[in-house]
Every structure is written in structure tokens, then in C-alpha cells.
Chain A
């Protein structure tokens, strides 16, 4: 079974600064996908970024980028120029591709990020 570990329960960053959230995972699969989701106080789950394991290039979405280290099974999220609206719970998630059934998404326990003035 796949496991996803987020070792930082809470983090804080000042507005306009950069912060990195850590995520490691355990799998014997070679082909999979990794995701970061954001859950603001509204509790709506919002996709932040997606990484395909077969792609060496790190995914980037505006101020959000990842550092994907496949051999180390590490998938960290970097938020640049942090904004107050980035305050949320951030979840790292792993998806193993399945044939014949839906692909399961396994989540870490989350990192609560507080952006301060």
C-alpha cells in the first residue's frame, strides 16, 4: 500500500516571502501521479499542482512549483511571494494508476500554512 507523509503539521510565513512544504511517499510503483491540494477555511478542496512521475521536469503553476525527486520519493511544494489568500491546509496526494477500476488517491495528513502580515 502507498503511504504519504507530511512531517510539518503547521507552518507560518510572512506575506511576500517564500515557503516550502515537504512531502515524502512510499511506493514500489514506477508510473504514478502526485498532487498538491489546498483546503482553505471554506473546506473546498482546490487542486494546486500535478506532477507525472515519468516527467523529470518539475511542474509549475504561477507562484507554485514543486521539487520532485523520484529516487528520494520526495515531492515538496514551494510557494513564492506568499499572499494572505494562501492561508490554508495543504495536502500532498499520491495516485497509482489502475486498469479496470478507478485510480485511488491517497492523501497525507496535511500541513496548515498561515500567511502573516
Chain B
């Protein structure tokens, strides 16, 4: 079955460490996205990408980095520069403009 796989489901890190969240899709979608979800704030866009080797900053990109070396993969790195990294992170993909986004199951990151 086609879908979006995010791993791991739960991730724990010590403050000051970089951590990479995985996102893989087999839907053959061109566009991929990363969102952050905090209680009471809905989903906020971190980075998005339309094609391989090209990506744009979203509304809250500071402290995060991404890569898009393959169409299927869009990993997100949470760096030590991110002041409040503890959150629920959602990856999504879309076939084209106007089409709905399909979401993965999310990764809950806890930094202590």
C-alpha cells in the first residue's frame, strides 16, 4: 500500500544534540512538507520541497534543516539552535498544486 512513513514514532534526545527525523513516501508525489504541531497552535510549516535538490523555508524554519536528495525522502534535522524542539512533527506529501496533502503518522520528539 502507498503511504508516508515517519520514523521513529517517539524520539528522545538530550539538549544540545542534533536529531534527524525520517520521512519516506511511495506515493510518487512531487511535493513534500514538514509541519510542527504544538498544543493550541495548530500546524506550522517548517520546510517544503517541490523537487529534488530544491526546498523552501516555511514560517518557522529557524533551527531546522532539510535535504531532498531523492524524490521519496525528505529528512528533517532539528539542530541544537532550535530553542524549543519538543513537539509533534508531521511530514506530508502532495501530488500537485491544489491537491490535498497526505500525512504520515508523526514523530513525537522530546528534548530534555
A interface vs B, CB < 8 Å?
9, 33, 35, 42-45, 47, 50, 52, 91, 95, 97-110
The answer on a CB contact under 8 Å between A45 and B103 is yes
The answer on a CB contact under 8 Å between B43 and A107 is yes
The answer on a CB contact under 8 Å between A102 and B56 is yes
How far, in Å, is B25 (CB) from chain A's closest CB?
Answer: 13
A-B contact pairs, 13 of them (CB 8 A): A43-B88, A45-B103, A50-B100, A91-B43, A95-B97, A100-B50, A101-B50, A102-B32, A104-B45, A105-B33, A105-B92, A109-B41, A110-B42
How far, in whole Å, are A35 and B92 apart by their CA atoms in the complex? 15
Main secondary structure of the interface of A (DSSP, over half): loop
The answer on a CB contact under 8 Å between A102 and B103 is no
The answer on a CB contact under 8 Å between A52 and B33 is no
The answer on a CB contact under 8 Å between A44 and B42 is no
Select B98's contact among A47, A52, A100, beta carbons within 8 Å. A52
Contact A103:B98 (CB < 8 A) given known A43-B88, A91-B43: yes
Q: Specify the chain B residue showing the minimal Cβ separation from A98.
A: B97
The answer on a CB contact under 8 Å between B45 and A106 is yes
How far, in whole Å, are A102 and B31 apart by their CA atoms in the complex? 6
The answer on a CB contact under 8 Å between A105 and B50 is no
The answer on a CB contact under 8 Å between B98 and A108 is no
The answer on a CB contact under 8 Å between A102 and B100 is no
The answer on a CB contact under 8 Å between B94 and A103 is yes
Residues on A with beta carbons closer than 8 Å to the beta carbon of B56: 101-102
Contact A102:B43 (CB < 8 A) given known A43-B88, A43-B106: no
How far, in Å, is B67 (CB) from chain A's closest CB?
Answer: 15
The answer on a CB contact under 8 Å between B31 and A103 is yes
How far, in Å, is A55 (CB) from chain B's closest CB?
Answer: 12
The answer on a CB contact under 8 Å between A103 and B97 is yes
Residues on B with beta carbons closer than 8 Å to the beta carbon of A98: 97
Q: Say yes or no: is B86 at the interface (Cβ < 8 Å to chain A).
A: no
